Structure 1
Amino acid sequence: MRQLIPSPVISVVADTCTARETHASLDSLFAYADAPGEPPDGSKHVKALEWLRRTNKDHSVDPLAVLGRLIENYMEQPIGTWNDGSDAKKIEAILAQCKLRYVTGGKVVAAQMSAAASRTLETLLKSFDYRAIDEEFSRALENVQSEPREAVSAASNILESFCKVFIAENSLELPAKQDLKPLWTVVRKHLGFDPSAIADTDLQTILTGMLATVEGIAALRTHASSAHGAGVTSYRIEPRHARLAIHAAHTITLFALETWEKRRKSAG
């Protein structure tokens, strides 16, 4: 069932966007989140409020999916520089008040289901439960025909979650920007995914392609279906594109997980 963004959440998120964004970055943020229509007129605060309300009214979008992408950077940005954690705490509090919860990877879900879902995926990755992870990707494929953009996001989130679990379990330093590409860079370096270090030229070619594919998945999740500035071709992802990205993310996640498990057993 389509769930609207509650008015108290709209108010707090609009305040946060107003404080943290310029007019240009606000437009870019809402475009990234797939908020419908052109930027509204008015001040930053008026613009943010109107765009959030419009999101609720437009039945072609999922309001909570838009909200999740809007607040993703505020919720996951490491403490430091401009971020003292207060924005995330305010948003987290108002979401809880409205029986919602933010889940890593740019998702907002009902509070009673989010914690269990997040813990489940983390547990699967830590326990190397390959069959269950296969099922997670299968769930992403279930929506590929009706919601290809969301299906790609779901698959990308699983790969991103793997990276975060790996970094945490191996006590590695999180990158400043915690989205897929920089997270994957930390993981691949630690796992030794370096084509130049492989003697077999065939494996070099495959490994080079794998690294480029992760960048492609990250870019597709960010850019597909989003509005772009003048001079840049916009496009809408199709189910065939989504299937390619999902199967690629699946293969890479399991290969990385198997490599990690082998190293862990060797070390033990």
Structure 2
Amino acid sequence: MGRLIPQPVIAVVADFLAINETHASLDSLFAYADAPGEPPLGSKHVKALEWLRRINKESEEPLTILGRLIENHMESELPKNAEYEWEKKKVDFVNKMPDLLGRYGLQYITGGYITDGSSIASLSLKEAIEKRNTPAVEMEFTRAMENLHTDPREAVSAACNILESTFKIFIADENLPIPAKQDLQGLWKVVREHLGLDTKAIEDEDLKRILSGLYSLTDGIGSLRTHASSAHGAGRKIYNLKPRHARLAINAAHTLTMFILESWDEKKK
């Protein structure tokens, strides 16, 4: 089970939703976010509060549902001159929510994601790809995050594609020869040799061991996509992928991708 929504966050979100939603829109919003069970009885505040508490008790990934609940409010355009009370409440909510989440080591990310900081590489990579004209990488990043909890097989496929797209962009931008076999390993070999990441070129034994781990990482992610993701049909053996497995593949792919982008920038300098 994923991390629970802190009780002070529940209180603030319940108060805000009760002011900004009708009973009907509350029901629709919680249903869209995959909140468990039927709408609780009572006032809008009681309903929102009880439903949020139920999410903590019954849902595997409470923070995922919370992100969907506040996404529209966090990302909609704020009124420049808030005149009405509900407008002031919305501005106050959007401005204070990052600090409130931050008290508990949480962060809201555009797209309805709330992270507990377990993957700094994912946050850094998101910022890095936004600065580059790499729509293919950005698309796969979004697909991986969106499917992490709902479709782990699809998320694993996207995690591998993040690496593959990054390798192809690197090879194209550096005008490098395209390998005869354009699978993940073939592309990675061209990239690592051009960046000087081959273990034979590294003298430090500790760095060699880390780089050797990167080779195993690409092998593992590529194999997992082949055997267990949605990219290929399943055989007799069906992999029972869980969100934690997909998260492992995604975090690993993000770590390697971020290292490649940083190494690329360093080489340009």
Q: What TM-score comes out, normalization by structure 1 length?
A: 0.48
What is the TM-score of this pair, normalised by structure 2?
0.48
